[in-house]
Structures are given as C-alpha cells and as structure tokens.
Amino acid sequence: MKIGFIGLGNMGGHMARNLATAGHTVTGFDVAGVMVEGVARAASSAEAASSADVIITMLPNGEILRAVAAEVIPAMQPDACFIDCSTVDVDSARAVAADWPLSVDAPVSGGIGGADAGTLTFMAGGPVAAFKIAEPLFGIMGQKAVHCGDSGAGQAAKICNNMILGATMIVTCEAFALADKLGLDRQKMFDVASTSSGYSWSMNAYCPAPGIGPQSPADNDYKPGFAAELMLKDLRLSQQAAEAVGAATPLGEHATQEYAKFVEHEDGAGKDFSAMLPRLSKMPRG
C-alpha cells in the first residue's frame, strides 16, 4: 500500500517507520524536514498525498490539521482514505470528515514508547468503510483499535479517557504526598493501594513515585513519556468539549487548572505529567 504520512515528530516518526518496516511504501513530510529510516521524503504535504492510497496525519492541534487537510484533500486520489491520528478538538475532526467522507479520526494512547514499539491503542471515529481500510494499518502501529462511532467519536473517546487520566494522576500524587507526611512508607502505600480500591493505571502501571512499581518516567528523573504540557492540552480539549455540550466536569476542570499552573507558571514544562508528585510533596496546604 502507498501511504503518505504527514507529521514525523516524536510520535509520527516511529509510526511511519513501523509502517515502512512492515513493507508499505511510505512517503513522509514534516515542516521541520525530519528524516525517518525507510520513509521517502516529499517536498510538501500535497506531494506526500498525491499518489497515496492512505494519508495519515499526526499533528499538534486542530488549526494545523484543518490547514493541512485544505492542502492535502485537493491532491488526493478519489478513493484514498484520510486517517488523522492527532489529538484535536471534535469540531476539527468533523470538519475534515465533512470535506472528505472516507476519513477516520483516530487519536492514540500509549505515548512515545508505544509508538516506537507498535503497541498504541487507536480510538477511531468515522464510517465503517473507512475504518476497515485503516484497521490493518492500526494493527501494525498498535495493539488495539476500537471503532467508537461516527466522525468525531474517536476524539471524544480520547479526551474523555485523558480527563480520567489527568485527574487520577493528580489524586495518586496527592496520596503519596500525604502518605509521606503521615510517615507511611511509599512501598507499603503502593502494596496496599495497587491491590485494593486505590487500583488505577496511574498507580499500577505508571506509578509517580521513583523506585515503586514498574519502571516509569519517575525512575528517569521525570523525563517525559507523556509530557505535562500534552496532558494540559488534552484537559483543555475536554473542557472545551464539556462547555460546548453543557456537561458538568468539576474534577476535570480542577485538573486542568492544576496542570496549567504547573506548566505555565512553575517548572512543569518539559517534565512528565507524573512530576506532579514532587510538586505536591513540597507544596504547603492551603
């Protein structure tokens, strides 16, 4: 299959490489001029898409997605499929789908490590016909793909999931910070919470306390697996969506405020989102 891949950054570069390694002909474009092993380099996004059976995008935000789609869609083959793996607002996903019906919005979960290892999870929205075209490619780039519904449903699933993750990580870090002040050993705290009602992905798979549980960014000085600024982006998307439909999300709103303080007014930029633990450990009450 001929694939045009637009956006070869920390995630997209690994995804494009995995597709090329699997035997697909991949032509890529990135505004930073990134080169990826096994991926031919196009001079523009339109050139990457012009002869492709499938176009995949991995872009920073909805505004850029709309701009790239406006360049790419006129150059696409009539029966080509457009797959956007960016995390963007639901309205942008639906706007692209309105311009090209054979499209899938398919944001991912799994971070840079998952993109490298080909173990991402894809949350997909769009027509069944488009999902069936995309599904074999999801199987190369990831380990699971869920068809969530019509166009925009993939983005809706992603922002709801990450709202849970953001709020859960904050309260997990709060629990460790409180345990410290109460004189409770962190390992004992983990042994209890990870096997009882405190069980969560943030606790069990991505523990924010160094040296506790499976290997995580906490064991690497909080260098990002999933950066705090990306969590802030996703939380803001959740609150934008909540406001649009009149949904009450008080904990999601509070998590957004806390990550905004951490990233924009403290030292959180460039750190993993689990670095909330050292932040909270030195923060006074009130």
Q: Please state the length of the chain.
A: 286
| Cα distance between residue 230 and residue 235, in whole Å | 9
CB 142 within 8 A of CB 108: yes
CA distances from 36 to 5, 10, 28, 39, 256 (A): 11, 11, 8, 5, 34
Cα 101 to chain centroid distance, Å, stands at 24
Q: In sequence order, which residues have a C-beta less than 8 Å from that of residue 80 and are 6 or more positions away?
A: 49, 52, 53, 54, 55, 102
Q: Which of the 8 DSSP states describes residue 3?
A: E
Specify whether 233 is catalytic: no
Catalytic-role residue among 158, 181, 233, 271:
158
CB 170 within 8 A of CB 276: yes
CB 222 within 8 A of CB 278: yes
Pinpoint the alpha helices (H) of the chain.
Answer: 12-21, 45-49, 62-72, 90-99, 111-117, 128-141, 153-181, 186-193, 201-204, 228-245, 250-264, 276-281
Identify the bridge partners of residue 108 per DSSP, sorted by sequence position.
122
| Cα distance between residue 8 and residue 284, in whole Å | 42
Q: Which residues are catalytic?
A: 158
